[in-house]
Amino acid sequence: MLSSKAPAGRATALDVELFAIRLGVIKATSFDVKRIVIITDSLTVARRAVDASVHLGQAHSLAIVQALRDFFTNHPNCSIHF
């Protein structure tokens, strides 16, 4: 199993969860996969992960949306599940 580490500094629980989803989505979309499953105990975070509007943690959401846009553009039969 590979480990990914990235500096995050001081953050709220919401930032940490969005950051974790961001790392996972970006890593998953770098492989040839057809389905991404994200397991979280917070529907708020799941919604925010794909919400590109202005909010705290927007930078994470934009990175997630960009990775997913490229993922679905190149693989239209793929899916993501929360």
Domain ranges for the chain: 13-81
Summarize pLDDT for 11-48 with one digit per residue, the tens: 788 899 999 999 999 999 999 999 999 999 999 999 99
Higher pLDDT, 3 or 42: 42
- Local confidence band at 3 (pLDDT 50, 70, 90 cut-offs): low
Q: What pLDDT sits at residue 74?
A: 86
Residue 15 Cα distances to 2, 47, 77, 81, angstroms: 23, 13, 30, 20
- Residue 70 pLDDT exceeds 70: yes
- Residue 6 pLDDT exceeds 90: no
